[in-house]
């Protein structure tokens, strides 16, 4: 899994059946020290609770689809959890605090 | 499998049920010389590893699922060993 920050939402009413009710969020990947790194990706949110600005854990590939219910859906990135804290020396989240 | 060094703990209360009760550790990737590559990942821990320890990480879903014995686990990166020594000729 990797760390990311939710930077926006994506709404698509016309989409694959299994994905109804699954929020789609834009996530900015972070590097190991908490800085933005790489291009944002659209993630399905398996927690259905992540909000803008929140720090999340996300996974790619088949595991991304396996987080969802039903899992046999065309998804290649999913949010696995909402991070409370990253306890790593020097880790700094963009808005300064640790979460 | 890849070599890594545990550099932090990630705490998340709201998460996929599989990860409830599992430690999630930040692991910096190491190359064969033990140097940090700059890359990292957050792995679940199948064996207890602490910050600062060098670890062996399975970074592929099927293998990780076999280790935890759960064929539907949304799991890819799993710490499966704590490394004592690396010797390269």
Mind listing the pLDDT tens digit for each residue in B70-84? Answer: 999 999 999 999 999
SS3 for A22-70 is CCEEEEEEECCCCCECCCCEEEEECCCCCCCCCEEEEEECHHHHHCCCC
| Contact criterion met (CB < 8 Å) for B10 and A57 | yes
pLDDT at residue A94 in the model: 56
- For residue A96, what pLDDT is reported? 41
For residue range A44-58, list pLDDT tens digits in order. 999 999 999 999 999
The structural domain count of chain A equals 1
C-alpha closest to that of B52 among B3, B5, B89: B5
Across the interface, do A64 and B11 touch by the CB < 8 Å criterion? no
Backbone angles phi, psi at A52, to 5 degrees: -60, 140
Phi-psi region of A38 (alpha: psi -120 to 50; beta: other; left: phi over 0): left
Chain A CB contacts of B43 below 8 Å:
1
Question: What is the model's pLDDT at position A92?
Answer: 83
**CATH classification of B2-82, choosing from 3.90.10.10, 3.60.15.10, 1.10.3720.10, 2.40.50.220?**
2.40.50.220
**CA-based nearest distance B34→chain A, Å:** 17
pLDDT of residue A82: 97
Q: CB–CB of A1 and B76 under 8 A?
A: yes
Query: Cβ contacts (< 8 Å) between B38 and chain A: which residues?
Result: 31-32
Residue A90 forms part of a structural domain: yes
Looking up residue A38, the CATH number of its domain turns out to be 2.40.50.220
CA gap A53, A55 in Å, rounded: 7
Beta carbons of A72 and A18 less than 8 angstroms apart = yes
Distance of residue B6 Cα from the nearest chain A Cα, in angstroms: 10
Q: Which residues of chain B have pLDDT under 50?
A: none
pLDDT of residue A97: 46
The tokens for A70 are 């039903």
Domain assignment of residue A39, yes or no: yes
Q: Which structural domain range is residue A90 located in?
A: 2-94
> Does pTM top 0.90 for this prediction?
yes
**In chain A, which residues have pLDDT < 50?**
96-99
Question: Is residue A99, in this structure, part of any structural domain at all?
Answer: no
């Amino acid at each position: 899994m990797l760390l990311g920050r939710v930077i926006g939402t994506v709404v698509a009413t016309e989409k694959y059946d299994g994905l109804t009710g699954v929020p789609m969020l834009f996530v900015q990947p972070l590097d190991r020290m908490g800085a933005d790194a790489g291009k944002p990706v659209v993630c399905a949110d398996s927690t259905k609770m992540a909000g803008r600005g929140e720090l999340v854990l996300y996974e790619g590939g088949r595991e991304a689809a396996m987080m969802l219910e039903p899992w046999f859906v065309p998804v290649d990135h999913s949010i696995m959890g909402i991070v409370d804290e990253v306890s790593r020396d020097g880790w700094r989240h963009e808005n300064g605090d640790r979460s | 499998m890849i070599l890594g060094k545990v550099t932090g703990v990630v705490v998340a209360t709201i998460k996929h049920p599989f990860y409830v009760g599992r430690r999630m550790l930040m692991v910096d990737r190491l190359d064969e010389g033990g140097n940090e590559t700059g890359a990292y990942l957050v792995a679940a821990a199948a064996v207890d590893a602490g910050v600062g320890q060098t670890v062996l990480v399975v970074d592929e879903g099927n293998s990780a699922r076999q280790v935890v014995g759960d064929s539907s686990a949304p799991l890819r990166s799993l710490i499966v060993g704590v490394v004592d020594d690396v010797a390269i000729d």
